[in-house]
Amino acid sequence: MCKKNIFKAKTAMAVEDQPSKKSGKAKAVVDQPPKDRNNNGENNSTGASGVDVDATRPLLPLFYESPQPLHNVRHAGKGLRKSSNFGFARTAHAVVLHTQEFRLAAASYPIVFAADDTAMPLAILGIRDGENLFIDEDGQWAPGAYVPAYVRRYPFATGHGAAADEQILYLDEDSELIVDCAGDPAAEPLFVDGEPSKRTAEIREFCAAFQQQTPITQAFIEEIKRRDLLASKDIRLDLPAGGSQQVTGLRIIEEEKFDALPDEAILEWRHRGWLPLVYWHWLSMDNFLRLLQRGGG
């Protein structure tokens, strides 16, 4: 039997930066080109949830290699490849979810909570490290399966600007989804006549909406942590080809502890819309068997 914990704190998603109370919409920078941000751990936060995939380098969000503020001079002539391709997520065995995604995600993935202090909700995409069972050879996501918002927003993200209350839009300059418009006429330009394009405005709105969900998700996480509802869970899966795989390091909401909550807590959870989150989380655990059916054995 193969036993491996692929959800250790080292590889668990870190909590996204909370937007400032005064922050409004994230914006693309229309100004002089910013200085290059170095990769020594300073000024490279995109405000995104991340995975420390390599302990020898600074913590960067999952998928992002070179996040930089989107800038009308630095990124003039750049565009977003029009055809969708999720090849960048091919080795992601888990990604973060916000609570508003639980209902849709629960139909496709097991939803668990990270093993580190963040306890972020995770959609499990594969039962082995570096395995995403929902992306085919052409980089297309499995038809009918919900694509997590964290994946859909790449290669963009929101982050803090120079001022504490400033939110700006970042992009990963190393992403294959960012191309030169001159070489790809079908690409959607990021700037038109030095101003953010309509597509950039749509991206900005999506990224801002994603980040605005962070405090809502964190409120739910803090409540289940405060009530000590999380418990470690190992999943033993019998592989079709023989043998078994034990996935460890998962955390779930323990049913007995939840059932012991006082009535006033249940009433508060109902008012705050948290009760369905628990039920969707529990129902989603059946998806571990579906992962095997997708080729996890």
Give start and end residues of each alpha helix (H) in 119-160: 149-153
pLDDT-based confidence at 273, cuts 50/70/90? very high
pLDDT for 21-36, tens place per residue? 333 455 555 443 334 4
CA distance 142 to 134: 5
Are the C-beta atoms of residues 149 and 210 closer than 8 Å to each other?
A: yes
pLDDT for 77-121, tens place per residue? 999 998 789 999 999 999 999 999 999 999 999 999 999 999 999
| Average pLDDT score, the chain | 81
pLDDT for 225-264, tens place per residue? 999 999 998 888 777 666 777 777 789 999 999 999 999 9
pLDDT for 205-233, tens place per residue? 999 999 999 999 999 999 999 999 999 98
User: Which range has the top average pLDDT, 162-166, 167-171, 216-220?
Assistant: 216-220
Q: Supply the pTM of this predicted model.
A: 0.80
Q: Tell which residue, 54, 53, 80, 50, has the closest CA to residue 150.
A: 50
Helix (H, G, I), strand (E, B) or coil at 189: strand
Percent of the chain with pLDDT over 90: 64
CA distance 29 to 136: 36
